[in-house]
Chains A and B, each alone.
Chain A
């Protein structure tokens, strides 16, 4: 794991968003004491200036800082520092991605460290599923910081998982129990794709092309790029199937289960259209389902077909979560899949009807349990890898998926948050993402520098791995694989 290099990687903006606003009253006579005491660099005085600059509020810990030795408001001789809750805070995020989660994900992307402040980085506020589960470990601070450092840097605790559990075929192991979800060229920008691919390579894990073809720029990363074959077959060719270690069949996706894919016309720029072999500026719809697959037998034929082209590839099957998802999973197993990828309804990054995201198919938490149990009963659980996606936001969500019965997780939105996404949801139309992430607009996409973005994702993953190691240590485990199905480690959050 020594190959992963964590480097500080700051936000690309003038102003960061924080929970508190710090302001200086007129009584401030610019003595500069605050500049000296605040360890979070909220205050600054530019060399040669008399005045303390406008405080950088985003760094402020707020009232929690009272506990520490450097609480500025009480130290200021003229009582000129005012700290208030920033009303702007409430405009950020939503139930699933709370402002706390967004900001702490940014912090992890910046530093590669487990967030230390008072913000909640493990759990959202959706009021159900992962957000009402907690681990049955009592104390977080009982371990000394040196010990923590030892745990998270040592190789004694393993977080790796194997992606092929059948007796035959190549064995592929990834050092962390997750890889990147398919996000197509067209739904996100090329710089964002490259950032994801680069970080996947650094972490020796994977990212997926999604249904938008395989840009040539990705070829240097081909050992870490999954080729997705989806119902529209956009940009799928023999070469792209041959060049990949894993082929992903996308039957359905959680955000719009049973509805195929959408790419609204505005985002189908000439570049995107070329890659997908379509006409620019036309809305693109991938049908649902594969029009050649109406049974497990058809499905097996599909798999045989790609296996003929690329015999060494592992096969992943991506399905969403209907009430008979357990049957679907077993069917995929018998058809020869190595990986079953369950995509729950609450995740997703692309354009999708709100009604589908909210209402169609069950949340991933239920589906994992259902499928895991059924595969166990069928006696095939140990031959297949079960991965979960669709609403997995944090290291703790990953751990909870594993506890419920998955082997690992697949990550989409969190990668984008690391790149600076605020989840405003405007990615789908017009010029796409105003922040340059999920866009194909040549001007807007310049905002992301691929190497900056890659470092941000690398850092986020580093922090996640540390959290998982720490969690395993506290649970008395040495390997993430031992965590699977250990629901005895889980408690309901309402329980006192």
Chain B
């Protein structure tokens, strides 16, 4: 029976993510008059439960920066400063704001909605140099997530044959449909405890997508979820291809080291195909600049999917190219070679916010691989150096059910935001977004188009 895809969310709070942006300081001039209490509608100010004559310390993480208490205090006893703990979160890419947003999405499973316009910088680098388009009048009726009409977010993994020439020789490779253009990765920080792996895989299972798992981290408890696992191994370590779980997997990824021999790759792929005829074969690549020749080799070796790895800041491991640019180039190259539909493209690394998913798809990927964001959903603070034994949130000890629900919540919020983007564009199927450069506005291009004539003589365009 037809069932509309739906993600079940439920709010999950986590005490370790209660880090507010602001800190309210009450100084000695306070006369405990209680006026701040009436002015704060977010319950930051309360009387001491033991001694109601005095005010207790402000509950900082609830403060929403409205200045009402500060400006209404008759004795100038209150002041607001930035919360240092908040400012210390993450790094330059995984900014405190990004982490905070994911935490809220993971807690509520809802699209972040605020009043009062946009507050950020005009533009930034990477993903922040792209605006998505909208469609003004002439287009089918669409009410976004509250809509009457369904917007499809499922994508197909695997090659699409340009035509079928001979039914007898039909390639047995399946294409595999995932319900959201997002795959999950279990080892963003190289952590491999069950407490982290299990919730991610279970979430992928519930969400109707796949989660990458390195073969050495496979354990028997995962067996029921095998259909939702993308098994991964490095080409130089791959062995025992004739055993479980290789033979039952749906999706197998071979991570290519920086240097590898193509004949070795061909040999392994052949062996894999003979042991497991239906699995999709993906190649994990660190170098995003590929020549047409290499593509042909991959195609002949019958790779269905190319997964481009970037680091957690979205920079490629080789050549230091940002994931948007490399994906854009790849898309163009493949289109030029008329090979675009014969391979699925995934991008992994630096996908840190809901808008990154549609943007990487616009650049040419079929789907995005989420990694570090999943840990952040579970409460990770993206410390400068991850020392898991000394983790401030004890990530590995987190209740797996809580972690799983928070991951699902975040992905639901991301999917709903993807729907918002698609709906604004009047696109009903995320598959149609792939490579739709024309439905995006790139900073460099629009800046040139709009302002070059003004600043030709008196100022730089960029």
Contacts and interface: CB of A to CB of B under 8 A. Distances in A.
B436 to A, nearest CB: 12
A400 to B, nearest CB: 11
Q: Which of B40, B64, B73, B136 has the most CB of A within 10 A?
A: B136
A493 B41 CA distance: 42
A292 B450 CA distance: 33
B68 A434 contact: yes
Interface string B406-447: 000000000001001101111000000000001101000011
Contacts of B137: 251, 289-290, 293-296, 299, 319, 328, 331
Interface stretch (B120-128, B189-197, B220-228, B321-329): B120-128
Contact of A425 (B39, B114, B143, B447): B114
A151 to B, nearest CB: 26
Nearest to B124: A127
Contacts of A323: 133, 438-439, 441
B451 A95 contact: no
Contacts of A251: 136-137
Q: Could you say which interface size class chain B belongs to?
A: 35 or more
A495 B460 contact: yes
A325 B134 CA distance: 10
Contact of B119 (A95, A262, A291, A369): A95
B180 to A, nearest CB: 16
Contacts of B118: 96, 255, 345-348, 357-358, 391
Interface string A92-125: 1011110000000000000000000000000001
A324 B135 CA distance: 8
Given A359-B131, A369-B450, A325 B136 contact: yes
A91 B82 contact: yes
Contact of B66 (A127, A129, A422, A487): A422
A285 B455 contact: no
A151 B237 CA distance: 80
Nearest to A491: B458
B133 A295 contact: no
Contacts of A487: 453-454
B119 A360 contact: no
Contacts of B120: 94-96, 126, 358
B446 A126 contact: no
Contact of A361 (B119, B131, B138, B449): B131
B22 interface: yes
A493 B439 CA distance: 30
B440 to A, nearest CB: 8
Interface in A418-468: 421-431, 433-435, 438, 444
Q: Which of A262, A294, A356 has the most CB of B within 10 A?
A: A356
A357 B41 contact: no
A2 interface: no
B272 to A, nearest CB: 40
Interface in A354-375: 354-363, 365-366, 369-370
Interface string A458-494: 0000000000000000000000000000010011111
Contact of B82 (A90, A125, A289, A438): A90
A257 interface: yes
A487 B98 CA distance: 37
B156 to A, nearest CB: 25
A352 interface: yes
A180 interface: no
B287 interface: no
Contact of B113 (A422, A429, A494): A429
A352 B131 contact: no
B164 to A, nearest CB: 38
Given A15-B70, A15-B71, A359-B421, A126 B143 contact: no
Contacts of A349: 115-117
A306 B141 CA distance: 23
B341 interface: no
B74 A14 contact: yes
B136 A13 contact: no
B111 interface: yes
A353 B417 contact: yes
Interface residues of A, number: 101
Nearest to A331: B137
A425 B458 contact: no
Contacts of B417: 353, 355
A128 B138 contact: no
A297 B334 CA distance: 41
A360 B459 contact: no
A74 interface: no
A357 B355 CA distance: 11
Contacts of B133: 322-323, 360-361
Contacts of B76: 14-15, 54
B3 interface: no
Contacts of B29: 54
A427 B82 contact: no
B458 A423 contact: no
A348 B117 contact: yes
A289 B141 contact: yes
A383 interface: no
Contacts of B451: 369
B455 A491 contact: yes
B121 A351 contact: no
Given A15-B76, A434-B66, A360 B424 contact: yes
Contacts of B72: 13-15
Contact of A287 (B79, B122, B141, B426): B141
Nearest to B65: A424
A424 B113 contact: no
Nearest to A16: B71
A164 B96 CA distance: 49
B257 interface: no
B450 A365 contact: yes
A442 to B, nearest CB: 13
A21 to B, nearest CB: 9
Q: Which of A15, A357, A365 has the most CB of B within 10 A?
A: A15
Interface of A: 11, 13-17, 54, 87-88, 90-92, 94-97, 125-129, 131, 136, 251-252, 255-260, 262, 264, 285, 287-291, 293-296, 299, 319-320, 322-325, 328, 331, 345-363, 365-366, 369-370, 391, 413, 416, 421-431, 433-435, 438, 444, 487, 490-495
Given A54-B76, A258-B136, A347-B118, 13 more contacts: A87-B79, A90-B82, A126-B120, A258-B142, A291-B141, A352-B115, A352-B117, A353-B112, A359-B131, A361-B424, A435-B67, A490-B454, A495-B455
28 contacts: A15-B72, A17-B67, A92-B67, A126-B120, A126-B122, A255-B117, A258-B426, A288-B144, A289-B139, A294-B137, A320-B134, A320-B136, A323-B438, A345-B131, A352-B117, A355-B354, A355-B420, A356-B424, A361-B132, A361-B424, A370-B450, A423-B116, A425-B114, A425-B119, A428-B114, A434-B64, A490-B454, A492-B459
Top 9 nearest A-B pairs (CB, nearest first) are A128-B122, A492-B459, A427-B115, A258-B424, A13-B71, A94-B119, A258-B134, A495-B459, A126-B122
